[in-house]
Amino acid sequence: MSIFHACDIRGIAGKDLNGIMARRIALAVGAKLTGQRVVVGGDIRLSTPELQRIMIDTLAESGCEVIDIGTVATPVFYYAIKAMEAVGGVMVTASHNPGAYNGFKLVFGDQPVTEEDIKEIARMVENDERVQGQGRIIEKAVISDYIKDTTAKARSTNLKVVVDAGNGATSGIAPALFRAAGYDVIELFCDADGHFPNRPPNPALAENLTALGEKVRQTGARLGVAFDGDGDRAGFVDENGRAIDNDDIIVLLGQYYLEGQQGTIIYDAKCSMVVPEEIVKAGGRAVMARAGHTFSKAAFLREQALFAGEISGHFFFRELGYDDGMFAALKVCEFVDEHGSLAALTDAIPNYLLTPDIRVPYKGNDKEAILAETAQKLAAYQPNLIDGVRIEFADGWGMIRSSVTEPLFTLRFEAKTDERLKEIITTLLQALPEGVREAVLLKLPAGK
């Protein structure tokens, strides 16, 4: 499988992404950014120091002015690019993937990287493109500045909150950030450890928030927040220790940002239809984006939105200009402090019948052909093609899309009644090739 994905570069460290490949990628990035100021940071994975050193030295060799910000969370990296007026940057991280993985998040200018940008880097790597220059390396500590400037955009409160860093890159940063904003912080898994010994680094999965929920109940905290491996995603549990769907978090943050003002809120194509309904009720304009960091950020910037959210746990903010899981947690805590129980707030949001992600593998390079054939068979329903193939009705929807990071199709369905949910599932499945259809049937929730 290629390490060059739609939004970033990612693979198993030492295998797919070894030192030789890292240098070739760094040479390609250096050829693209030569002569420019570039920020480089890295997370706490065991393979990061070697990859980060290769990237820094090679970019300098390619003529870049490299700002080495050390070991940081990805939101700190985004902050540093903005604060230092850098043209681009490289963050060494595999985000929410397991510890064996690593990769590079790339920034080229003000707009998010595109699939074409990643393909260009892949071509440059294949052609062994490089330049020689007289660059330099400047070491710069930025975490304290990030904490100071980020808390200045938040409201101080003494709310009791459990902060679960998952032993990731936010381990030393998130507790300090929350304490700087006045919070009563209870730490959980806040010792950085690239083995991720206590839980997988993906907070979007409820099963990964079990220990956080228990800690919240034990301590009487008002809520708990969990971060992924590099801190650009967040997950939440309420005061009862119950994991909260990020669809509901998007609704709450949308409501918060629409208090006293009008504006656009971005949500991704996998969200419940409750999200746009509640945004409109709150006086906002709801705009759907293709799922994936690059696509949500592009829509966020294009629409000049107040806020954007993905059910994966990415949250983008106008006052920052980028996504930040830690800032998202501060804003959710503010909303709870002002409006009461997180459990009550989320229980007040309507719930429809929404399946979890149904993930099935595909083989080879036939994903586009399968999606095109599916869309053609569903042409009578005028499918939405913003992200795979999505059929929409007044009382529900169904979709199939390809993952941007893995050789998988992801399917999801939602309806207002169980009978209607079954009808929508059947409609979409009948349009799929037999092999894909059979794989989906094996993974459908019982009774569907």
Same fold: 145-347 with 353-443: no
CATH fold for the domain made of 145-347: Alpha-D-Glucose-1,6-Bisphosphate; Chain A, domain 3 (3.40.120)
Pick the CATH number of 9-141 from 3.40.50.2300, 3.40.50.150, 3.40.120.10, 3.50.50.60: 3.40.120.10
Give percent above pLDDT 90 in the chain. Answer: 90
Across residues 194-220, what is the average pLDDT? 97
Band of pLDDT at residue 261, cut at 50, 70 and 90: very high
Answer yes or no: are the C-beta atoms of 371 and 384 closer than 8 Å. Answer: no
Band of pLDDT at residue 99, cut at 50, 70 and 90: very high
Q: How many CB atoms lie within 10 A of CB 403?
A: 19
| Backbone torsions φ then ψ of 390, nearest 5 degrees | -130, 125
Judge whether residue 2 has pLDDT over 60.
Answer: yes
Q: What gap in Å lies between CA 270 and CA 311, rounded to an integer?
A: 7
Band of pLDDT at residue 444, cut at 50, 70 and 90: confident
Across residues 204-229, what is the average pLDDT? 97
Residue positions annotated with a catalytic role:
95
- Please tell me the predicted confidence (pLDDT) of residue 177: 98
Across residues 219-234, what is the average pLDDT? 98
Tell how strand 408-415 and strand 358-361 pair up: antiparallel
- Please tell me the predicted confidence (pLDDT) of residue 70: 98
Distances (CA, A) of 32 to 38, 77, 121: 11, 19, 9
The residues spanned by each domain of the chain are: 9-141, 145-347, 353-443
Q: Which helix (H) or strand (E) holds 40?
A: strand 37-42
Distances (CA, A) of 159 to 81, 183, 302, 374: 31, 5, 35, 50
Q: What gap in Å lies between CA 307 and CA 299, rounded to an integer?
A: 10
Exposure b/e, 294-325, CB count within 10 A at least 16 = b: bbbbbbbbebebbbbbbbbbbbbbeebbbbbb
Answer yes or no: are the C-beta atoms of 131 and 114 closer than 8 Å. Answer: no
Band of pLDDT at residue 7, cut at 50, 70 and 90: confident
Nearest 5 degrees, angle CA 310-CA 185-CA 161?
A: 45
- Please tell me the predicted confidence (pLDDT) of residue 292: 86
Judge whether residue 48 has pLDDT over 80.
Answer: yes
- Please tell me the predicted confidence (pLDDT) of residue 6: 79
Crossing angle of helices 74-83 and 325-339, rounded to 10°:
100
Q: What gap in Å lies between CA 88 and CA 72, rounded to an integer?
A: 16
Give percent above pLDDT 70 in the chain. Answer: 98
pTM score of the predicted model: 0.94
Judge whether residue 445 has pLDDT over 80.
Answer: no
pLDDT 10s digits, 372-399:
999 999 999 999 999 999 999 999 999 9
Crossing angle of helices 143-151 and 325-339, rounded to 10°:
30
Q: What is the mean pLDDT of the chain?
A: 95
pLDDT 10s digits, 136-184:
999 999 999 999 999 999 999 999 999 999 999 999 999 999 999 999 9
Band of pLDDT at residue 118, cut at 50, 70 and 90: very high
Judge whether residue 1 has pLDDT over 60.
Answer: no
Q: Which of 153, 171, 155 is nearest to 163 (CA)?
A: 171
Pick the CATH number of 353-443 from 3.40.1080.10, 3.40.30.10, 3.90.1260.10, 3.30.310.50: 3.30.310.50
